[in-house]
Structure 1
Amino acid sequence: MHAFAALLDSLIYTRSRNAKLKLIADYLHATPDPDRGWAMAALTGGLDLPGVKPALIRALIEERVDPVLFRMSRDYVGDTAETVALLWPAPVVPGAPEPLSLTDAVERLRHLGRADAPAELARMLDRLDAEERFALLKMATGALRIGVSARLARVALAQAFDVDVELLEELWHALPPPYAPLFDWLEGRSEQPTAADTPVFRPFMLAHGLEDARVDLADYAAEWKWDGIRVQIVHVAGQTRLYSRTGDDVTGSFPDVAAAFSTPGVVDGELMVKGDFQGGALDSGGGAASFNALQQRLGRKTVSAKMLADYPAFVRLYDILVDGTEDLRALPWTDRRARLESFVPRLDPDRFDISQLIAADDFTHLEAIRAGARDAAIEGVMLKRRDSPYVGGRKAGLWYKWKRDPLTADCVMMYAQRGNGRRSSYYSDYTFGCWTDDGELLPVGKAYSGITDEELRQLDRFVRSHTVNRFGPVREVEKTLVLEIAFDSIHSSSRHKSGVAMRFPRIARIRLDKPAEEADRLDTLQRLIT
Structure 2
Amino acid sequence: MPDVTMQDAEAVEEERIQYGEAEMQADLDKKYPNRPHNSHKTLPFHELFTTLFNPLNENRKKAPGPVVARRKQGPHGRANQTPHEAKRSIIDRFISRWRQQVGPDIYPAFRLIIPEKDRDRAMYGMKEKTIGKLLVRVLGINKTSEDAHALMNWRVPGGNASKTAGDFALRCYEVISKRPIRTQVGSMTIAQVNEMLDRLSFVSKEDEQYPIFQHFYLAMNPEEMMWLIRIILRQLKVGATERSFFDAWHPDAEILFAVSSSLRRVCWELYDPALRLEGEHCDIALMQCFQPQLAAFQIHSFEKIVEKMKPTPQEPDFWIEEKLDGERMQLHMITDPSVPGGKRFGFWSRKAKDYTYLYGSHFEDENSASTRHLKSAFEPGVRNIILDGEMITWDVETDTIVPFGTLKTAALAEQRNPYAGGQRPVYVVFDCLLLNDTPIAAYTLRDRRRALASAVNPVHRRLEIHPYTVARSAGEIDPLLRKVVAEASEGLVIKNPRSSYRLNERNDDWIKVKPEYMTEFGESLDLVIIGGYYGSGSRGGFHSSYLCGLRLDNPDKDTQFCYSFCKVGAGMSVADYTEIRHRTDGKWQPWDPKRPPSTYIELGGGQKQFERPDEWIKPADSLVVCIKAASVITTDQFPMGLTLRFPRFKRLRLDKDWSTALSVIEFTKLQASAEAEKKEKQFEVDNERRQRRQVRSRKKPLVVVGGDERVQTPYGAPASKIFDGLTFFVLTDAAKPIKKTKAQLEALIKSHGGTIVQTQNTTPDVICIGERKTVKVSSIIAAGKHNVVRPAWVEHCVAQHEATTGLPSFLLPLEPRHMLHVARDGDVIEGAVDEWGDSYYRDVEGAELGEIIDGMPDDPGAMGDAEVVAEQLREHGIDLYDAPGWLFRGYVVYFDRPEEDVLTPEGLAYLLTRNIVAFAGGRVEDELGEDVTHVMCAKTTRVKELRKQISGRARVPHIVSPAWIEESWKESTLLDEERFGV
Q: Same fold (TM over 0.5)?
A: yes
- Deviation of 1:48 after TM superposition, in Å, equals 2.6
- Deviation of 1:332 after TM superposition, in Å, equals 0.5
Task: Provide structure 1 residue ranges, at least 5 long, that are not aligned to the other structure.
Answer: 280-286
Partner of 2:288: 200
- Deviation of 1:406 after TM superposition, in Å, equals 1.1
Greater shift, 454-463 or 131-140, is seen at 454-463
Partner of 2:662: 516
Q: Distance in 1 between matches of 2:421 and 2:254?
A: 40
Q: Distance in 2 between matches of 1:486 and 1:306?
A: 44
Is the Cα contact below 8 Å between 2:259 and 2:503 reproduced in 1? no
Partner of 2:647: 507
Q: Distance in 2 between matches of 1:229 and 1:120?
A: 36
Q: Distance in 2 between matches of 1:447 and 1:254?
A: 42
- Deviation of 1:276 after TM superposition, in Å, equals 7.6
Distance 1:302 1:93, change over 3 A: farther
Distance 1:468 1:74, change over 3 A: closer
Kindly provide the CA deviation profile for residues 116-158 of structure 1, in whole angstroms up to 9, marking residues without a partner as x: 532331232243233321221122344445566xxx4156314
- Deviation of 1:385 after TM superposition, in Å, equals 1.6
Structure having the higher Rg: 2
Kindly provide the CA deviation profile for residues 153-208 of structure 1, in whole angstroms up to 9, marking residues without a partner as x: 156314431216223432443x758x763354557599998999851112211233
Partner of 2:534: 418
- Determine helix, strand or coil for the equivalent of 1:3: helix
Q: 2:465 aligns with which of 351, 354, 372?
A: 354
Is the Cα contact below 8 Å between 1:205 and 1:390 reproduced in 2? yes
Q: Distance in 1 between matches of 2:406 and 2:154?
A: 39
- Determine helix, strand or coil for the equivalent of 2:429: strand
Partner of 1:107: 195
Q: Distance in 2 between matches of 1:312 and 1:444?
A: 38
Question: TM-score, length-normalised on structure 1?
Answer: 0.75
Distance 1:69 1:428, change over 3 A: closer
Partner of 2:346: 241
Distance 1:422 1:22, change over 3 A: farther
Distance 1:368 1:424, change over 3 A: farther
Is the Cα contact below 8 Å between 2:107 and 2:264 reproduced in 1? no
Distance 1:516 1:435, change over 3 A: closer
Is the Cα contact below 8 Å between 2:625 and 2:649 reproduced in 1? no
Is the Cα contact below 8 Å between 2:329 and 2:349 reproduced in 1? yes
Kindly provide the CA deviation profile for residues 40-85 of structure 1, in whole angstroms up to 9, marking residues without a partner as x: 5614143336496645522243344432343455424223322112
Percent of matched pairs sharing the same residue: 16
The AA in structure 2 aligned to 1:246 is: K
Distance 1:57 1:185, change over 3 A: same
Q: Distance in 2 between matches of 1:88 and 1:529?
A: 50
**Mapping 1:393-432, distance limit 5 Å:** 393-394=504-505, 397-406=508-517, 415-422=531-538, 424=540, 427-428=543-544
Q: Distance in 2 between matches of 1:234 and 1:242?
A: 7
Q: Does 1:272 align with 2:392?
A: yes
Distance 1:100 1:239, change over 3 A: farther
Partner of 1:335: 447
Greater shift, 207-216 or 333-342, is seen at 207-216
Q: Does 1:70 align with 2:157?
A: no
Q: 1:36 aligns with which of 90, 109, 124?
A: 109
Is the Cα contact below 8 Å between 2:434 and 2:441 reproduced in 1? yes
- Deviation of 1:381 after TM superposition, in Å, equals 2.4
Partner of 2:591: 471
Distance 1:240 1:442, change over 3 A: farther
Q: Report the structure, 1 or 2, having the larger strand content.
A: 1
Distance 1:374 1:332, change over 3 A: same
Q: Distance in 2 between matches of 1:311 and 1:21?
A: 52
**Mapping 1:343-382, distance limit 5 Å:** 343-346=455-458, 348-358=459-469, 360=471, 362-370=473-481, 373-374=484-485, 378-382=489-493
Q: Distance in 2 between matches of 1:497 and 1:303?
A: 38
Distance 1:275 1:421, change over 3 A: farther
Q: Distance in 1 between matches of 2:48 and 2:214?
A: 19
Kindly provide the CA deviation profile for residues 432-462 of structure 1, in whole angstroms up to 9, marking residues without a partner as x: 67799999976677677xx45x458746864
- Determine helix, strand or coil for the equivalent of 1:393: coil
- Deviation of 1:92 after TM superposition, in Å, equals 6.7
Q: Does 1:58 align with 2:132?
A: yes
Task: Provide structure 2 residue ranges, at least 5 long, that are not aligned to the other structure.
Answer: 1-44, 64-82, 158-164, 337-342, 361-368, 379-383, 556-560, 593-612, 654-659, 676-809, 814-828, 832-982
Distance 1:351 1:168, change over 3 A: same
Q: 2:438 aligns with which of 303, 315, 326?
A: 326
Is the Cα contact below 8 Å between 1:4 and 1:135 reproduced in 2? no
- Deviation of 1:516 after TM superposition, in Å, equals 2.5
Q: Distance in 2 between matches of 1:437 and 1:276?
A: 48
Q: 1:3 aligns with which of 37, 47, 64?
A: 47
Greater shift, 188-197 or 380-389, is seen at 188-197
Partner of 1:282: none
The AA in structure 2 aligned to 1:290 is: P
- Deviation of 1:362 after TM superposition, in Å, equals 1.7
- Determine helix, strand or coil for the equivalent of 1:86: helix
Is the Cα contact below 8 Å between 2:393 and 2:424 reproduced in 1? yes
Partner of 1:167: 256
Is the Cα contact below 8 Å between 1:230 and 1:269 reproduced in 2? yes
Q: Does 1:227 align with 2:315?
A: no
- Determine helix, strand or coil for the equivalent of 1:75: coil
Is the Cα contact below 8 Å between 1:269 and 1:316 reproduced in 2? yes
Q: Distance in 2 between matches of 1:458 and 1:111?
A: 48
**Mapping 1:292-331, distance limit 5 Å:** 292-293=405-406, 312-331=424-443
Q: 1:290 aligns with which of 381, 399, 403?
A: 403
Higher relative contact order (CA 8 A, sep 6+): 1
Q: Does 1:122 align with 2:209?
A: no
The AA in structure 1 aligned to 2:171 is: T
Partner of 1:137: 229
Distance 1:35 1:481, change over 3 A: same
Partner of 1:86: 174
Q: Distance in 2 between matches of 1:259 and 1:457?
A: 63
Q: Distance in 2 between matches of 1:94 and 1:166?
A: 43
Is the Cα contact below 8 Å between 1:29 and 1:160 reproduced in 2? no
- Determine helix, strand or coil for the equivalent of 1:345: coil
Q: Distance in 1 between matches of 2:370 and 2:578?
A: 46
Q: Distance in 2 between matches of 1:396 and 1:259?
A: 36
The count of corresponding residues between Structure 1 and Structure 2 is: 508
The AA in structure 2 aligned to 1:181 is: W
Q: Distance in 1 between matches of 2:625 and 2:299?
A: 30
Partner of 2:8: none
Distance 1:93 1:12, change over 3 A: closer
- Deviation of 1:419 after TM superposition, in Å, equals 4.2
Is the Cα contact below 8 Å between 2:259 and 2:284 reproduced in 1? no
The AA in structure 2 aligned to 1:317 is: V
Is the Cα contact below 8 Å between 1:242 and 1:250 reproduced in 2? yes
Q: Distance in 1 between matches of 2:225 and 2:152?
A: 18
Is the Cα contact below 8 Å between 1:382 and 1:400 reproduced in 2? yes
**Mapping 1:387-398, distance limit 5 Å:** 387-394=498-505, 397-398=508-509
The AA in structure 2 aligned to 1:225 is: K
Distance 1:61 1:231, change over 3 A: same
**Mapping 1:484-495, distance limit 5 Å:** 484-486=628-630
